[in-house]
Amino acid sequence: MKANILVSPRKIEIRELKVPEPSRGEILVKIKAALTCGTDLKAFSRGHHVIPMPGVFGHEFSGIIAATGKGVKKFRKGNEIMAVHSAPCLKCRYCKKGLFNICENIMETKVLGAFAEYILLPEHIVKQNVFRKPKNLTFEEAAFLEPLSCVIHGMQGLQIKKGDRALIIGAGPIGLLHLLLLKNKGANVIISGFEKRRLALAKKLGASLTITPEKNPPSPPFSKGGMGGFSEEIKKTVDKFTDGLGVDYVFECTGQPAVWQSAVYYVRRGGTVILFGGCKTGTTVTYDTSRLHYDEITLKGVFHFTPADVKEAYNLLKKRQIPVSKLISGKYLLTDTEKAFLKLMEGEGIKYAIIP
């Protein structure tokens, strides 16, 4: 089979690999569509600790079952499926507490390699996180199951309701997916970002307001010589939008420590800041203790997803309640995967579908 190998940053090679054979409980999937994502882009541009090089990569996909191992009863050859690339072990200390997204083994047992003709899914994923693709979904739309599951997980427990006001910082693929889900819940949304084309798309997707923050914002009000990140433009827009109250929720989708730090200045008293964007390992931030304590601000770190999140994402996609196809900027053949990532590095497009 043909597979894309990420050899080193900014270098992808197409290689011939042996088609894997499914063992007991496993299924072999012929990929019909795989999507680019932010983690893949980081790996391509500079490397990423969860995506070894040289090696296969890609983890947002859908396809058709090409073969099944012994013991697989829910699926058979020829079924059109949608899936995610991981599942909890159900045995570790965190799984026993019901914290399936931070399972001790979930990252070690994840599957990469969707930018290929075939991918092999192990038994624990087959049992928990594989679904029949509905006929009303394209394979490209079905491949959104994984990123939508992540966004859903970040909103679990927030009880977002119609009329709530939210700010999304970062108008990339994940920020725009947050926008679609928040609009589905009835929230009024502001989104900030630097790319004019992405902000224009956000407006079409239902954003109430879009903001282009300063390129080199000053430090937050409490900081003396600390990191920058506080945007007067965002603060001014939020104050006008909320009559000076502040938004109910801030969703940080950039993974920049300075933005993490400044996010607390846009939320109302009693509000919640969701820290979705992953910062570089080892980075730190500093918060104004008075702001957190006396204004009772909740900071919520979020990571990955649970099987319940995946099921919710599947149902939303199945009912076509989230118009994910609007986030696909184009399609590339498997042999042209590198071209898609080079475009993303130049700020062109949102997500690209790779078609074997």
Q: Are residues 292 and 336 in the same domain?
A: no
Q: Are residues 228 and 277 in the same domain?
A: yes
Strand pairing class (328-333; 351-355):
parallel
How far apart, in whole angstroms, are the C-alpha atoms of residue 102 and residue 107? 9
In a domain, 120, yes or no: yes
In a domain, 38, yes or no: yes
Q: Are residues 45 and 23 in the same domain?
A: yes
Q: Are residues 47 and 132 in the same domain?
A: yes
Q: Are residues 18 and 131 in the same domain?
A: yes
In a domain, 283, yes or no: yes
pTM over 0.85: yes
Q: Are 29 and 142 in contact (CB under 8 A)?
A: no
In a domain, 125, yes or no: yes
The helix (H) or strand (E) run that includes residue 293 is: helix 289-294
In a domain, 342, yes or no: yes
Count: domains in the chain: 2
Strand pairing class (130-132; 209-211):
unpaired
Q: Are residues 117 and 17 in the same domain?
A: yes
Q: What is the domain range of residue 344? A: 2-144+322-355
Q: Are residues 138 and 38 in the same domain?
A: yes
| Contacts by residues 213-216 (CB-CB < 8 Å, ≥ 24 positions apart) | none
What DSSP character marks residue 117? S
What region does 113 belong to: left with phi over 0, alpha with psi -120 to 50, or beta?
Answer: left
Q: How confident is the model at residue 215, as a pLDDT?
A: 77
Q: How confident is the model at residue 227, as a pLDDT?
A: 45
In a domain, 315, yes or no: no
Tens digit of pLDDT at every position of the chain (356 positions): 999 999 999 999 999 999 999 999 999 999 999 999 988 998 898 888 788 889 999 999 999 999 999 999 999 999 999 999 999 999 999 999 999 999 999 999 999 999 999 999 999 999 999 999 999 999 999 999 999 999 999 999 999 999 999 999 999 999 999 999 999 999 999 999 999 999 999 999 999 999 999 876 655 554 433 445 788 999 999 999 999 999 999 999 999 999 999 999 999 999 999 999 999 889 999 999 999 999 999 999 999 999 999 999 999 999 999 999 999 999 999 999 999 999 999 989 999 999 99
Q: Are residues 105 and 176 in the same domain?
A: no
In a domain, 311, yes or no: no
Q: Are residues 297 and 177 in the same domain?
A: yes
How far apart, in whole angstroms, are the C-alpha atoms of residue 339 and residue 61? 19
Q: What CATH number is associated with residue 140?
A: 3.90.180.10
Q: How confident is the model at residue 224, as a pLDDT?
A: 38
In a domain, 151, yes or no: no
How far apart, in whole angstroms, are the C-alpha atoms of residue 20 and residue 310? 26
Q: Are residues 95 and 167 in the same domain?
A: no
Q: What CATH number is associated with residue 237?
A: 3.40.50.720
Q: Are residues 292 and 329 in the same domain?
A: no
Q: Are residues 209 and 252 in the same domain?
A: yes
How far apart, in whole angstroms, are the C-alpha atoms of residue 51 and residue 56? 8
